[in-house]
A and B are shown apart, each in its own frame.
Chain A
Amino acid sequence: MSAYRRAMPSTWWLRNRAYFLFMVRELTSVPIAVYLILLLLMVRKLAAGQEAYEAYLRFLATPGMVAFHLLALAAALFHAVTWINITPKVLVVRVGENRVPPALVAGANYAAWIVVSILIAWIVVRS
């Protein structure tokens, strides 16, 4: 008598919502990386001179690039939210017998995220 084995299809992540959102979460890393390469190219164009830089800004204004950046922003926001929600699982803060509530750890991270974002925007725009 032999045991019956059920093989896992490579479409397992379509089985339920949680698996699907996991796959989305993992793949947000792709548009984020592509954006950073585009940012690196912007720095390269800055080094190459004014003409190259301004041509690059015009390239970024094309509909395809605008659509990509909107997608990348959505991906980065989804990544940020899932990342911060997972943080209390990794970092366990204890005070005596009690564990600091995970929601409080995540809340502190959300607050820090907003402060850091405002600070960056302020430095870039006002400096």
Chain B
Amino acid sequence: MPQPTITLNIFRYRPEQDQEPGFQTYEVPYRTDWVVLDAINYIKDTLDGSLSYRWSCRMGICGSCGMMINGVPKLSCATFLKEYYPAPVRVEPLANFPVERDLVIVLDDFMQKLTSIKPWIIPKEAKPLSAGEYRQTPAELARYKQFSMCINCMLCYAACPVYGLEPRFLGPAAIALAQRYNLDSRDQGRSERQEVLATEEGIWDCTLVGECTTVCPAHVDPAGAIQQAKLATALDWVKGVLIPWGKR
């Protein structure tokens, strides 16, 4: 019996030779236990070594191999060919990001946004090492744990039309990460983060399309994080109106 095959239509962009990107079609062996990344690795190894893409762990941990698969942002290492077979599979770089080359996107903007919300614990007063560790109860951990599970795969940015329309929008993962630290009992840095968060390009541009949460492979629920940040910020504002002399 001949080996069955599946067709992959892959987005190609080589800036040194292409004015405009295009699609290239590859025929690869179809195996029920193969994910899209396996097929792309097969292309790279045996059919066309010029194809560029990012990947590392191939087990849903590193967050490197996000791609648009038939128009949906997915980790290519966690998306099986059998979900599409025998229809062809269209593979494109993550939407809403500039394309560096083939399936490789420019992620400078995302990295800059992540650091802008100061994703580290900011204590009111740093304790000396001799004072011991910052302790936390399981209940305090539970408050932010979900938002700490992000693997920085950027699928949520590719799913977010607000980010696509307004690249200055801080975006789902960065706001969820800010919320992760804001909810941490060891952290008192919220007012510093609010300078970035409580702005139009921060939380207020979000219209709660909700697709960030739908596509998140780590079940972080960035849409929920953003709404909770809006509510907390709105309550700050109410407090400021009712008690103008009070400190936040």
Chain B minimum-CB-distance residue to A88? B224
Interface size on B, residues (CB 8 A): 33
Determine which of A15, A91, A96, A98 lies in contact with B71 in the assembled complex, contact meaning CB atoms within 8 Å. A15
14-63 of chain A: CB within 8 A of chain B? 15-16, 18-19, 22, 26
Query: Known contacts A8-B96, A8-B164, A26-B207: does B142 contact A94 (CB below 8 Å)?
Result: yes
CB distance B209 to A19 under 8 Å? yes
CB distance A1 to B227 under 8 Å? no
Nearest chain A CB to B41 CB, angstrom units: 24
Chain A residues with CB under 8 Å of B246's CB are: none
CB distance B161 to A12 under 8 Å? yes
Query: Known contacts A3-B100, A22-B209, A99-B142: does B21 contact A89 (CB below 8 Å)?
Result: no
Chain B residues with CB under 8 Å of A5's CB are: 98-99
Query: Known contacts A18-B209, A94-B143: does B165 contact A8 (CB below 8 Å)?
Result: yes
CB distance A3 to B99 under 8 Å? yes
Chain A residues with CB under 8 Å of B143's CB are: 94
Query: Known contacts A3-B98, A3-B106, A90-B231: does B209 contact A12 (CB below 8 Å)?
Result: no
Query: Known contacts A89-B227, A97-B142: does B16 contact A22 (CB below 8 Å)?
Result: no
CB distance B138 to A2 under 8 Å? no
Nearest chain B CB to A34 CB, angstrom units: 21
CB distance A1 to B15 under 8 Å? yes
A5 CA / B95 CA spacing, docked (Å): 10
| Size band of the interface chain A makes with B | 20 to 34
Chain A minimum-CB-distance residue to B108? A3
CB distance A86 to B227 under 8 Å? yes
A3 CA / B16 CA spacing, docked (Å): 11
Chain B residues with CB under 8 Å of A18's CB are: 209-211, 214
A18 CA / B72 CA spacing, docked (Å): 11
Chain B minimum-CB-distance residue to A23? B209
- The answer to whether A126 has its CB under 8 Å from any CB of chain B is no
Nearest chain B CB to A127 CB, angstrom units: 35
Nearest chain A CB to B118 CB, angstrom units: 23
Chain A minimum-CB-distance residue to B159? A18
Give 19 pairs: A residue, B residue, CB < 8 Å, sorted on A.
Answer: A1-B16, A3-B15, A3-B98, A4-B21, A4-B99, A6-B95, A6-B96, A6-B99, A8-B161, A8-B164, A16-B71, A18-B210, A19-B209, A19-B211, A22-B209, A86-B208, A86-B210, A92-B228, A98-B142
Residues in A lying within 8 Å of B, measured CB to CB: 1-6, 8, 12-13, 15-16, 18-19, 22, 26, 86, 89-92, 94, 96-99
Beyond known contacts A12-B161, A90-B228: 12 more, CB 8 A cutoff: A3-B99, A8-B165, A13-B161, A16-B72, A22-B210, A26-B207, A86-B208, A89-B224, A89-B227, A97-B139, A97-B142, A99-B142
